[in-house]
Amino acid sequence: MTQTDPRAGVGAVLRDLRERLPEHGLVTDPAQRETYACDGLAAYRVRPALVVLVESADQVAEVVRACSRHDVPFVARGSGTGLSGGALPHADGVLVVTSRLRTLHEVRPEDQRAVVDPGVVNLAVSRAAEPGGYYFAPDPSSQQICSVGGNVAENSGGAHCLKYGFTAGHVLSLEVVTPDGAQVTLGTEAPDAPGYDLLGAFVGSEGTLGVATRATLRLTRLPEDVRTCLAGFGSTDEAGAVTSAIIAAGIVPAAIEIMDALAVEAAEAAVSCGYPEGAGAVLVVELDGPAVEVEQELDRVRRLCAEHGAVEFRTAADAAERAEIWKGRKSAFAAVGRISPDYIVQDGVVPRTSLPEVLREMGRISAERGVRVANVFHAGDGNLHPLVLFDAAQEGATERAEEVSGMILDLCVAHGGSITGEHGVGADKARYMPRMFEPADLDTMQLLRCAFDPAGLANPGKIYPTPRMCGERPRVVHAADEPSVDGAEVF
Amino acid sequence: MSLEEVLGATCAVRPAGEEDEVDGVPAGVVARPASAQETSELMRACSAHGLAVVVRGHGSKLEWGRPPERVDVVLETGGMAGLVEHARGDLVATAGAGMPLTRLRHLLADAGHELVVDDLAVGRGADAAGSTLGGAVATNLSGPRRLRAGPLRDLVLGVRLVLADGTVARAGGKVVKNVAGYDLGKLMTGSFGTLAVVTEVTVRLHPEPQEVRQVHALVPRERLAPVLAHLVRTQTAPHVLDVHAVPGADAQVSVGLGGSPGSTRRRAARLAAELSSPGLVGSAEAVVAVDPERVTVEEITHVVPSAAEPWSTAEEVARRPTLLRVTTRLSGTAELVQVANDHGLTITGSAGVGVLRATLPEEAQVETVLGAVMAVRAATTRLGGSTVALDAPPAVKASLDAEGTWGPVPGLELMRRVKAQFDPGRTLAPGRFVGGL
Ligand SMILES: Cc1cc2nc3c(=O)[nH]c(=O)nc-3n(C[C@H](O)[C@H](O)[C@H](O)COP(=O)(O)OP(=O)(O)OC[C@H]3O[C@@H](n4cnc5c(N)ncnc54)[C@H](O)[C@@H]3O)c2cc1C
Ligand SMILES: Cc1cc2nc3c(=O)[nH]c(=O)nc-3n(C[C@H](O)[C@H](O)[C@H](O)COP(=O)(O)OP(=O)(O)OC[C@H]3O[C@@H](n4cnc5c(N)ncnc54)[C@H](O)[C@@H]3O)c2cc1C
């Protein structure tokens, strides 16, 4: 018997799960399900057919196995802060929410390792490691809420990944439930596990290869010294030039961030961060490491800023002042809400040396289309976060903003960059993948998907615009699994 | 039609000689494609005729892993050895897979840049040019300085590859930060040429440190654990933290510091003082800070780890010791060193990341070697790591099957599925990899 009504599959999954999971983990009420309809990218909304609040890895495996049995898609969700619609639910599928999986199993400074559940919040790992002198280096601006599982799936970065690298470099091993419901360990607690680097391939796969149920993370030694400085410049060109000069001088700062005039204006309005008034661009540089090294580097950064015409240069004297400097930068996305009713957070990458040119071109597009664009970016690695401002109440404004947003990505690709540096492809950017990759590239990537998920049940529709057919796959149909098709709403 | 005729239309092909054997398995022909396009045509022809292909860079470690079941074609990457781009301001370089690492280093040096991999295979065998970029990627070559820059897997930004069926594909990109699509670069890294032919690699570069300084310590056995625990936590930010231990002698610990001149001197002095303290090495004589004039950036990679590498001199490289890659959780390094030494193994590697190499001389009895492998593997398993027999004399290899070579492999079933997707006909180095893949 073939399934005709896709929701019937979910009905069968629910019946299976009622036998195996506690009722309180199964969310069937439509209004409650609706609260999971979007992640951090609210432009896309889909109400999932069923939400399961899992409480153990075994429960995750039960859910995935039930989905596999009944050919029902599933989507993992951590804290739902993703900005590319990666955790956008499937209307006829199950949403597996990890927010109850919040146990920090081990923190072992002597091994520089922490073992955590996927729902553990990013910052909680650092908090737990701090007394031992360590922290978890990947620090997305959303770190107070985003989950480790989400970080793993997105290969998240943050301001400090310039020096310390992305999540991929900080995960040693993962326990995962593969889309057929098997529980598998990838990697070992030590690096360089034998065999193919499936761990490396899983990180950044946006929930399309399975659900991570436990992660062994690398902890990084807290630096002896941290110095943060801020400089104001007449334009982003100058700030960009200093960035290149700092890197060329052989300095690898922990972070180099730039905000343009509009972003500074927004941040000022929102959190009164006290950035230099009237600056065309603000540069934030953080240096960390052994005190003697940091001291010398700070001197050189100060000199380079002066040489490039900095209008103001401040150095944070203590942790409170450092937090003050970061406040404006970290609140930038939300702050833009102060100067515009609606905005799109874009995420693209260009080679660092193309920054000035790309910013000028972006300015031209913005002027031409009459759409304001505020810029906040991880300048050290050329990762731009243009904020495209619009007012959805105005006719055609949304479309114009989306058009500009897409043109910015084209600009990134034309300069040899990427359509996403850290927010992922998700549902939002799958359509842009062909601008960056040839069909053969996308097909080849999906061979990996075929190995993990021949049935295409794990977070379908994300990353790749056109799913690859995986050839023959064995199908086991159990009589007991056959759905009973009834009314329109299964619950 | 002979193999040469069949494949000659796709690229330069010559009959194979004795020197083209792969781990004792004779080869049919040697093919040398000059581009991804030629590689594609060659691979398509090989797949169509059911030929087994082994990719060869400089052949410095072609015998690593299990011997391939068959070698119809040796695919040499030497025809794809050019520097495609060195984006200086971006600290990114793209080169053909056949690019020798030594040449790449030379090309990057005038910009003050380097690809931070330690070419541990320099000078091995007939080929003094060392590893190729593709070979380094295929074996995930990572030496002492991975402590600073990460393993090669984290430095690979993009790859161009050719599948067994001739498909040419690209993954990743030319920028440091990029999460668009699966990271096939990582999948290729350490795949020993069994998934695809890598034809071009884009890597992240680092600025060469202005100055490099070393601190060496001779550490009595019973003090090794506290010394390493101290060094793992040190605030002097070492780029290298290596241990080298020969059975029956004190362990040698080497720390490399890079940075600006005044800073490395002060950090080295501080570290030497800390190490000399009673709770640690306990003797100032056993701790030496080496002047930077005596180490160049190039040397640091060789001086430290290869001081006693069995293949560091010409006659030594001709030998074929048993070479194990052993890994451990950080706090287990001292214990692992002890177990290795107790079984006659010399052990060298990064105590800062927990990845080391252990060797037994070629003359060691097969039984002795097998016993040592088992003992070390038991230890690494207990310590959260693994033991892989990368290479061994033929007699030892003959007694090790795939499992004995690679040990327990988490995720092996998935790896089989990955291999079946990328290379369903088992064209590439059949039998070489984990689980007989
Ligand atoms: C204000 C703000 C600032 C941000 N700043 C940054 C930043 O600086 N850098 C950055 O990189 N990102 C940033 N982000 C994006 C986002 O926070 C990250 O992508 C984060 O890692 C997502 O985590 P999450 O738990 O919210 O994941 P979710 O949004 O719930 O899910 C994200 C993706 O991960 C998958 N997933 C979740 N859990 C699992 C699991 N256990 N196993 C498998 N797949 C799973 C989902 O299916 C989905 O595809 C920001 C977001 C916001 C709202
Ligand atoms: C002392 C020492 C220590 C070492 N330590 C380590 C270590 O800890 N970890 C580690 O992983 N390696 C280690 N190596 C490995 C060594 O560095 C590599 O073998 C070397 O980089 C291979 O380069 P090559 O050009 O000679 O490759 P070859 O010897 O020609 O080939 C090596 C392997 O790579 C494959 N290959 C080569 N080029 C390509 C390509 N373009 N596409 C696909 N496959 C390809 C080959 O088929 C073969 O399997 C060590 C080597 C030595 C001598």
Query: Three-class SS string for B132-161?
Result: EHHHHHHHCCCCCCHHHHCCHHHHEEEEEE
CATH of the domain spanning A104-221: 3.30.465.10
Q: Pull the structure tokens for residue B189.
A: 């890294």
Can you tell me the ipTM of this complex?
0.94
Residue A44 Cα to ligand 1 midpoint, Å, equals 15
Cα separation, B123 vs B131, in Å, equals 9
pLDDT for residue B120: 65
Q: What is the mean pLDDT of residues B208-218?
A: 90
Distance, in Å, from the CA atom of A478 to the CA atom of A300, rounded to the nearest integer, reads: 70
pLDDT at B121: 55
The overall average pLDDT reported for chain B is 90
Whole-angstrom distance, CA of residue B233 vs CA of residue B240? 13
The per-residue pLDDT for B313 is 42
pLDDT of residue A489: 35
pLDDT for position A322: 94
Which residue's CA lies nearest to atom 46 of ligand 1?
A87
Cβ of A417 and B92 within 8 Å? no
CATH code, domain carrying B308: 3.40.462.10
Q: Beta-strand (E) ranges in A153-280?
A: 171-177, 183-187, 211-218, 220-221, 225-233, 255-260
- Please say if the pLDDT value at position A100 is more than 50: yes
Tokens 């990064």 identify what position? B350
Q: Tell me the per-residue pLDDT of B263-273, one tens digit each, with 9 for 90 and over.
A: 999 999 999 99
Of residues A343 and A485, more confidently modeled: A343
- Judge if B234 and B128 occupy the same domain: no
Does A381 contact B at CB distance below 8 Å?
yes
Paired sense of beta strands A255-260 and A281-289, if any: antiparallel
- Residue B332 shares a structural domain with residue B369: yes
Asked if residue B397 belongs to a domain, the reply is: no
Instruction: Name which of A288, A320, A319, A318 is nearest A301 in CA terms.
Output: A288
The answer to whether position B83 is within a domain reads yes
Task: Give pLDDT tens digits for A316-333.
Answer: 999 999 999 999 998 888
The predicted-structure confidence for B347-388, as pLDDT tens digits, reads as follows 999 999 999 999 999 999 999 999 999 999 999 999 999 999
Q: How far apart are CA B47 and CA B26, in angstroms?
A: 19
In a domain, B147, yes or no: yes
Cα distance between residue B341 and residue B376, in whole Å: 10
Cβ neighbour number for residue B423 with a 10 Å cutoff = 23
Distance, first Cα to last Cα, chain B? 30
In a domain, B400, yes or no: no
Is residue A486's pLDDT more than 50? Answer: no
Residues B236 and B101 occupy one common structural domain: no
Q: What is the mean pLDDT of residues A185-211?
A: 98
Q: Is B367 exposed, middle or buried (0-12, 13-18, 19+ CB in 10 A)?
A: exposed
pLDDT at B302 over 90: no
Q: Is residue B284 part of a domain?
A: yes
Residue A284 pLDDT > 60, yes or no?
yes
Cα A432 to Cα A425: distance, rounded to the nearest angstrom: 9
Could you say which ligand is closest to the alpha carbon of residue B194?
A: 2
Kindly state if the Cβ of A240 falls inside 6 Å of ligand 1.
Answer: no
Whether A375 contacts A387, CB under 8 Å: yes
Average pLDDT over residues B73-93: 96
User: How far apart (Å, rounded) are the C-alpha atoms in residues B10 and B73?
Assistant: 13
Does residue B183 sit in the same domain as residue B214?
Answer: no
DSSP-H helix ranges across A285-389: 291-307, 319-330, 332-335, 355-369
Which CATH number is A223-339's, of 3.50.50.60, 3.30.70.2190, 2.130.10.10, 3.40.190.10? 3.30.70.2190
The predicted pLDDT at position B366 comes to 96
How many domains, in total, are found in chain B? 2
Quick one: residue B120, left, alpha or beta (phi over 0 = left, psi -120 to 50 = alpha)? alpha
Q: Which pLDDT value is given to residue B317?
A: 52
- Estimate the crossing angle of helix A439-452 against helix B412-422, to 10 degrees: 150
The mean pLDDT of A57-63, rounded to a whole number, is 98
Residue B182 sits in the same domain as residue B65: yes
Burial of residue A489 (CB within 10 Å: 0-12, 13-18, 19+) is: exposed
Q: Indicate whether B72 and B136 sit together in one domain.
A: yes
| Residue that is written with structure tokens 């009314």 in the block | A487
- Residue that has been written with the tokens 């007694």 in this structure: B399
| Residue B87: inside a domain | yes
Contact between B352 and B231 (Cβ < 8 Å)? yes
Can you give the residue range of the structural domain that contains B257? 209-392
Whether A1 has a pLDDT exceeding 90, the answer reads no
Q: What is the model's pLDDT at position A7?
A: 74
Q: Do residue B175 and residue A381 have CB atoms under 8 angstroms apart? A: yes
Tell me the sheet residues that pair with A217: A114, A171
Contact A165 B328 (CB under 8 A): no
| pLDDT higher than 90, residue A416 | yes
What are the percentages of helix, strand and coil residues in chain A, rounded to 5? 40, 20, 40
Euclidean distance between the first and the last CA atom of chain A, given in angstroms as a whole number: 22
Across the interface, which of B92, B181, B263 has its CB nearest the CB of A437? Answer: B181
Q: Is residue B80 included in any domain, yes or no?
A: yes
Same domain as B301, residue B250: yes
Q: Do A192 and B183 touch (CB under 8 A)?
A: no
Structure tokens at B128: 């003094």
The SS3 call for residue A282 is strand
The number of the ligand nearest the C-alpha atom of A171 reads: 1
Q: Is the dihedral of CA A158, A164, A165, A167 positive or negative?
A: negative
pLDDT at A468: 87
Question: Are B267 and B371 in the same domain?
Answer: yes
CB contact under 8 A, A449 and B182: yes
Residue B424 has a pLDDT of 97
Summarised one tens digit per residue, pLDDT across range A423-472 is 999 999 999 999 999 999 999 999 999 999 999 999 999 999 998 888 75
For the segment A278-302, the average pLDDT, to the nearest whole number, is 95
Q: Does any CB of chain B come closer than 8 Å to the CB of residue A155?
A: yes
Cβ–Cβ pairs < 8 A, chains A and B:
275
- d(CA A378, CA A243) in angstroms, rounded, equals 10
pLDDT digits (tens, 9 = 90+) for B219-265: 999 999 999 999 999 999 999 999 999 999 999 999 999 988 889 99
Q: How confident is the model at residue A4 (pLDDT cuts 50, 70, 90)?
A: low
- Is the predicted pLDDT of residue B103 greater than 70, yes or no? yes
Same domain, B175 and B312: no
- CATH number assigned to the domain comprising residue B77: 3.30.465.10
Same domain, residue pair B5 and B99? yes
Look at A200 and B262 and tell me if their CB atoms are within 8 Å: no
Domain layout of chain A by residue ranges? 6-97, 104-221, 223-339, 342-372+388-428, 438-491
B19 and B106 in a single domain? The answer is: yes
On the 0-12 / 13-18 / 19+ scale of CB atoms within 10 A, B218 is middle
Q: Is B265 left (phi over 0), alpha (psi -120 to 50) or beta?
A: alpha
Residue of minimum CA distance from atom 44 in ligand 1: A207
Query: Could you tell me if residue B351 is inside a domain?
Result: yes
The reported pLDDT for the residue numbered B310 is 36
Among A105-114, B142-151, B351-360, which is the least confidently predicted range? B142-151
Length of chain B: 437
Better pLDDT: A359 or B299: A359
Which of A177, A222, A433, A447 to mutate against chain B (most B CBs within 10 Å)? A447
| Chain B residue whose CA is closest to A417 | B175
Question: Lowest-pLDDT range, A4-18, B5-19, B126-140?
Answer: B126-140
The C-alpha atoms of residue A78 and residue A98 are separated, in whole angstroms, by: 5
Does the pLDDT at position A2 exceed 70? no
> Any idea which residue has 């040398």 for tokens?
B32
Ligand 2 pocket (Cβ < 6 Å) reads B 54-62, 64, 77, 97, 120-121, 124, 131-132, 134-136, 138-142, 192-193, 197-198, 309, 311, 325, 357, 429
- Encoding tokens for residue A259? 């905000």
| % of chain A at pLDDT higher than 90 | 88
- Residue A180 has which token pair? 């057929």
Give dist(CA B281, CA A145) in Å, integer. Answer: 45
Q: What is the pLDDT of residue B294?
A: 57
Contact B30, B76 (CB under 8 A): yes
Task: Give the CATH architecture of domain A6-97.
Answer: 2-Layer Sandwich (3.30)
CA count, 13 A, side-chain hemisphere, B338? 13
What band does B142 get if pLDDT is binned at 50, 70 and 90?
confident
Q: Closest ligand 2 atom to the C-alpha of B195?
A: 43
Same domain as B226, residue B91: no
Alpha helices in B261-350 (DSSP H): 261-276, 297-306, 314-317, 333-342
